[in-house]
A and B are shown apart, each in its own frame.
Chain A
Amino acid sequence: MTDAKPMILLDNVSKWYGQFAVLKDINLSVRPGEKIVVCGPSGSGKSTMVRCINRLEQHDDGKIIVNGTELTRDVRNIDTVRSEVGMVFQQFNLFPHLTILGNCTLAPMWVRKMPKKKAEEIAMEYLTQMRIADQAHKHPAQLSGGQQQRAAIARALCMHPKVMLFDEPTSALDPEMIGEVLEVMVDLAKEGMTMICVTHEMGFAREVADRVVFMDAGEIIEEADPETFFTQPKHDRCKLFLSQILGH
């Protein structure tokens, strides 16, 4: 962790909703190419933490530095960070009035100022990689949940992000569609993408994660490689969580 400068650095990051602390002095450093899986009970602040990294939420204290740019009130910094950080949401958040191709080309064309043709070429490349090239000209509502989430991943990749954030990408999917989304995420991980992924898919965590981060009540209480995390969790809270989630 000392040899390269971190891609993402959270330094004593805290956040409050009114009087309620959702994030308490979070410290996290992510190396380029590293894959982090974040898990923890609902309400533990894991989504909030990830959403702070591209400033969909504002942190109240501490420092967040993404690829050398610190997130402050400066709008230019925010836009710089957002165009370098791809995000995949639980509810896909595809734009329903645009085709899948339109979803994928909008930001490259208007943020990156890419010519339409080039943007479409790149979009088709990623849609092919996501195995939904044949859906390019349909609207999101015509696709299955799994296809929609893969389209959303392609949309984020079209911006050539340096980091991908996943906020429970499979939680809104029917069980038979979870596999197809996890598959493309594994592919992406193998290509060397830096990833932070909030998920309860422990199989995925075992397969690709370099580190598993466990959060509870706004704090990171355990941080370990998957093997250690799953076999010798230190905290009772962690053991309980694992027994609940793996127990069935």
Chain B
Amino acid sequence: MTAFRAPPKHHEGPVEWVRVHLFDGVFNSILTLLVVALLAWAIPPLANWVFIDAVWHGSTREACEGATGACWPYIGARIGQIVYGFYDFNERWRADVVFAFGAVGLAWLVIPGLPRKGWVGGILLTVYPLVAFVLLSGGWFGLPIVSTERWGGLLLTLVVAAVGIVASLPVGVILALGRKSELPVVRALCVAFIEIWRGVPMITVLFAASSLLPLFLPDGLEFDKLLRALIAIALFNAAYMAEVVRAGLQALPKGQTEGAAALGLGYWRATVFIVLPQALRTVLPGIVNNMISMFKDTSLVTIIGFFDLMGTIQAGATDLEWASPNVAVTGYIFAALIYWAFCFSMSRYSARLEEQLAEGERR
């Protein structure tokens, strides 16, 4: 190949960038000015409330009296409850261990370059839930039992979200495959399951699981209320997941299944090695979208008497010891921050995953 002349120089520099990106026409310029005005209007009062006018020190309600900003001492005083709910004070270390292992495991999966991610993922999905269950509920190895009714705060939110997210995906995949099955009975069952769960509000499902279900169970047969709620949440979300996955199955070119069939791979091998890897990748944004929505929907368990993250904050806001408008808003902002941090992390992780998965396939 002979050398060709270098590409023409583009104008660069901040002034040029601003001109091209913010003021490249009348409409865009007006839009830019509007956004600046909006930010100027919204940010200073918010920053004032959260930082400058906020009370940072103190340990009682008096510290926040008359304040015109956030009341952070309230969060400090209540952080134990916000994180653990009513989990027995002396047993909180067990929750800490569960948190720590979960955090290390997830970090291992997320940080690029660490070896044996498959193993770590496998342990997180099999051994870890068992260990977490034994540690949190107790009753084995001399650990005192902590009834699930005492689990609360962020701990409960994470338990519900993790179980819901992890259980709903495989069930959703099976439902989606069933809905595309050539066997009419399987197909009808899956369609019925999906449509029934999707057609009912989550709150109804939770009520049914917590108060209606025990009425139908024979006397003496009783199982944990949290477990019932978890199963309900997992199945409810599996129905949504199934439709997301089905979109992926439908997007797969027919040639892929034909190519697999022509090699003699049967249905299951073709599904596991050819269909699902591609279908799930296609709908990864939709799956994560569902997971994020599921994470926030966990707050609905307050309705059936659990004190999750949202529940403890709600309870704190009406606590006479602290009650004041600023305290309540401080609590909600704090809760929002925590929810946002988790959801945003999921979003970022999925974005990176998408990029990595697409890497080898780029030209």
Contacts and interface: CB of A to CB of B under 8 A. Distances in A.
A110 interface: yes
A107 B264 CA distance: 7
A91 B255 contact: yes
A83 interface: yes
B266 A93 contact: no
Nearest to B254: A93
Interface string B274-296: 10011001000000000000000
Contacts of B260: 95
B269 interface: yes
A110 B277 CA distance: 16
B258 A139 contact: no
Interface in A70-86: 75, 79, 82-83, 85-86
Contacts of B265: 106-107, 110-111
A111 B273 CA distance: 12
Interface stretch (B37-45, B110-118, B237-245, B355-363): B355-363
Contacts of B46: none
Given A93-B256, A97-B281, A141 B261 contact: no
Given A82-B264, A83-B264, A111-B269, A141 B361 contact: yes
B184 interface: no
A99 interface: yes
Contacts of A140: 361
B259 interface: yes
Interface string A124-153: 000000000000000111100000000000
Nearest to A80: B264
B262 interface: yes
A139 B255 contact: no
A201 B273 CA distance: 34
Given A97-B361, A142-B363, A56 B264 contact: no
Contacts of B362: 141-142
Interface residues of A, number: 28
Nearest to A110: B269
A141 B266 contact: no
A229 interface: no
B261 to A, nearest CB: 6
By CB atoms of chain A within 10 A, which of B256, B262, B269, B277 has the most? Answer: B262
B355 to A, nearest CB: 15
A89 B259 contact: yes
B291 to A, nearest CB: 22
B266 A95 contact: no
B278 A97 contact: yes
B217 interface: no
A205 interface: no
A27 to B, nearest CB: 24
A159 B264 contact: yes
B141 to A, nearest CB: 41
Nearest to B272: A110
Contacts of A107: 263-265
A109 to B, nearest CB: 10
A68 interface: no
Contacts of A211: none
A197 interface: no
A99 B360 contact: yes
A75 B261 CA distance: 12
A156 B263 contact: yes
B264 A111 contact: yes
Contacts of A89: 255, 258-259, 262
A159 B277 contact: no
Contacts of A86: 262
Given A110-B269, A139-B360, A141-B362, A93 B264 contact: no
B327 to A, nearest CB: 52
Given A111-B269, A156-B263, A95 B256 contact: yes
A56 B262 CA distance: 7
A15 interface: no
A94 B261 contact: no
27 contacts: A56-B261, A56-B262, A79-B266, A82-B264, A83-B263, A83-B264, A85-B262, A89-B255, A93-B255, A93-B256, A93-B262, A95-B260, A95-B273, A95-B274, A95-B278, A96-B361, A97-B281, A97-B361, A99-B360, A107-B263, A111-B269, A139-B361, A141-B362, A141-B363, A142-B362, A156-B263, A159-B263
Q: Which 7 A-B pairs have the closest CB atoms?
A: A83-B264, A93-B259, A107-B263, A87-B262, A93-B255, A82-B264, A139-B360
Given A82-B264, A93-B262, A110-B269, 4 more contacts: A87-B262, A89-B262, A95-B260, A97-B281
Interface of A: 54, 56, 75, 79, 82-83, 85-87, 89, 91, 93-97, 99, 106-107, 110-111, 139-142, 155-156, 159
